[in-house]
């Protein structure tokens, strides 16, 4: 090839490289579209506009050759911007709330990467209609996903209905910055239109209160009934005659002895008299005197602090019983009447001795 030909080719190549290259994006393209939320009052970009525009990234035309690289922070900013998203939800997830029912709004700013890739700004106060903000709690946590991790910053708003009727939660701007130099970016939460209903009737509380009131009333009635029954028993006890003493009950035995005399069984009657006297003496002196002999009884009576007349009457009754039982004495009617009378007198004397 001639020297002239080589000169022409070299000139042509130099002229071609001096032409300004076409416009390119400073951020490398990724295979995924950024997560961007559009609302009904916003205009979506046409097909020729970059999806990065809503997140604050603009295409640029470098004035240097294609071999010059972009700043080191640009690829990281583009990658993070493509994954930053905002999600909001209500708990409970409904659109009608009662006047006394709290409303919990959760706004979550999330991105895939490290915690320092995105720096959220302090959230703005929400614009509320017919609602009042009681508190706002913020926290962050990391969710691992298939070898990657997602950082989630949560803003928890506790809201309270103010009055019945329509209510709304307007979109809340969530501003943040990417790591490295750059302008602040912003995403917004959803808008919620709500309806506030009247207060709920606390049927559970009313029922529990009614049951408790009935229980208290029943306890009071039971206590009052118990007091009335005790008072009645005290009155009855005060008006009731005192229980009969053992000597009063033994006066019925004297009547049985008289009946035996009337029936003509004198020996059996005197045997009953002897048991009667032993029982009466046992009531006063104490102990079981049923099997004591006449001599033992006389000795016991001599050692007790009984009136002499009472002691002599008891010894006399026992002596007469021994004559009928063992000496074969046949008592007359007068003897029978006398011993029955002596038995009654003995009871009265022993009762007085106490």
pLDDT digits (tens, 9 = 90+) for 110-128: 998 888 889 999 888 999 9
8 A C-beta contact, residue 75 and residue 28: yes
Q: Is residue 206 part of a domain?
A: yes
**Same domain? 292 vs 270:** yes
Same domain, 275 and 304: yes
Q: How many CB atoms are closer than 10 A to CB 62?
A: 13
The side-by-side arrangement of strands in the sheet containing 148-161 is: 85-91, 103-112, 148-161, 131-145
Residue 16 lies in a domain: no
CB burial of residue 172 (10 Å; 0-12, 13-18, 19+): buried
Does 151 reside within a domain? Answer: yes
Query: Which residue among 197, 228, 257 closes a domain?
Result: 197
* Within a domain: 132: yes
Please write the tens of the pLDDT for every residue from 191-230. Answer: 999 999 998 877 777 788 888 999 999 899 999 988 888 8
- If asked whether residues 173 and 235 sit together in one domain, one would say no
Q: Which of these ranges, 15-19, 91-95, 302-306, 345-349, has the smallest mean pLDDT?
A: 15-19
Q: pTM of this prediction?
A: 0.41
Q: Are 172 and 145 in contact (CB under 8 A)?
A: no
What is the number of structural domains in the chain?
3
Is residue 25 situated within a structural domain?
Answer: no
Q: Which domain holds residue 258?
A: 246-353
Element of type H or E holding 290: none
Give pLDDT, residue 198: 92
Contact in structure between 164 and 198 (CB atoms under 8 Å): yes
Residue 74's nearest CA partner among 33, 135, 30, 115 is 30
Please check whether residues 112 and 176 belong to one and the same domain.
Answer: yes
Mean pLDDT confidence for 38-43: 41
Residues 305 and 254 in one domain: yes
Q: Is residue 23 part of a domain?
A: no
Comparison of pLDDT for 311 and 36, the residue scoring more: 311
pLDDT by residue (tens digit) across 275-300? 888 888 888 887 778 777 777 777 77
CATH of residue 130's domain is 2.60.40.740
Beta strands 165-169 and 96-98: pairing type? unpaired
Inside any domain, residue 57: no
215, 240, 265: which is the final residue of a domain? 240
Q: What's the token pair of residue 56?
A: 């604050």
Q: Are residues 304 and 342 in the same domain?
A: yes
Rounded to 10 deg, the angle between the 246-263 and 266-285 helix axes is 170
Same domain for 264 and 228, yes or no, is no
Domain stop point among 188, 214, 240: 240
Residue 314 pLDDT grade (very low, low, confident, very high; cuts 50, 70, 90): confident
Cα separations in angstroms, 175 against 119, 136, 151: 9, 17, 16
């Amino acid at each position: 090839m001639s020297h002239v030909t080589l000169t022409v080719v070299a000139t042509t190549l130099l002229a071609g490289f001096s032409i300004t290259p076409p416009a390119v994006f400073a951020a490398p393209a990724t295979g995924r579209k950024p997560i961007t939320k559009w609302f009904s009052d916003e205009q979506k970009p046409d097909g020729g506009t970059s999806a990065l525009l809503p997140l604050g990234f603009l295409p640029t035309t470098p004035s240097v050759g294609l071999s010059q690289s972009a700043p080191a922070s640009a690829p990281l900013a583009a990658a993070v911007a493509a994954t930053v998203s905002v999600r909001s939800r209500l708990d409970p997830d409904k659109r009608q709330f009662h006047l006394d029912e709290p409303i919990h709004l959760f706004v979550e700013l999330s991105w895939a990467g490290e915690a320092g890739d995105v720096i959220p700004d302090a959230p703005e106060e929400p614009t509320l209609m017919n609602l009042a903000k009681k508190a706002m709690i913020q926290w962050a946590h990391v969710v691992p996903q298939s070898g990657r991790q997602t950082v989630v910053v949560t803003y928890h708003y506790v809201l309270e209905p103010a009055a019945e009727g329509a209510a709304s939660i307007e979109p809340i701007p969530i501003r943040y910055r990417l790591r490295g130099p750059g302008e602040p970016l912003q995403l917004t939460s959803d808008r919620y239109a709500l309806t506030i209903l009247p207060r709920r009737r606390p049927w559970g509380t009313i029922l529990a209160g009614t049951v408790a009131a009935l229980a208290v009333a029943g306890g009071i009635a039971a206590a009052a009934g118990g007091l009335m029954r005790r008072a009645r028993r005290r009155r009855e006890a005060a008006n009731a005659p005192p229980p009969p003493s053992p000597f009063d009950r033994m006066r019925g035995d004297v009547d049985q002895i008289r009946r035996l005399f009337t029936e003509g069984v004198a020996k059996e009657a005197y045997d009953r008299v002897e048991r009667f006297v032993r029982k009466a003496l046992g009531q006063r002196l104490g102990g079981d005197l049923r099997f004591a002999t006449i001599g033992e009884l006389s000795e016991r009576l001599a050692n007790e602090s009984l009136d002499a007349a009472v002691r002599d009457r008891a010894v006399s009754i026992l002596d007469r019983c021994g004559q009928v039982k063992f000496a074969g004495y046949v008592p007359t009617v007068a003897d029978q009447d006398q011993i029955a009378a002596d038995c009654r007198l003995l009871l009265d004397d022993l009762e007085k001795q106490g």
